[in-house]
Amino acid sequence: MDNAKTAYEAILGLAAEMVLDEAVLKFRTERIYRAIDSALVEGDKDTFRRLAEELNALRH
């Protein structure tokens, strides 16, 4: 019974980690999109390129 409980706790821990990772990724992606929008409005090509690269890195 202890092995089943240990396995269950490990699976729950992994699931929690996956949910947290997804939430962090979503937060970072949304932050980058907002910053890209601002860079476009301001005409800041360097910032736009840097943020676009950062966004592409998150996707891979």
Domain boundary assignment for the chain:
21-60
Predicted TM-score (pTM) above 0.85: no
* pLDDT at residue 1 is higher than 80: no
| pLDDT tens-place string over residues 7-27 | 999 999 999 999 999 999 999
Angstrom CA distances, 56 to 5, 10, 11, stand at 40, 32, 30
Crossing angle (nearest 10°) for helices 2-42 and 45-59 = 160
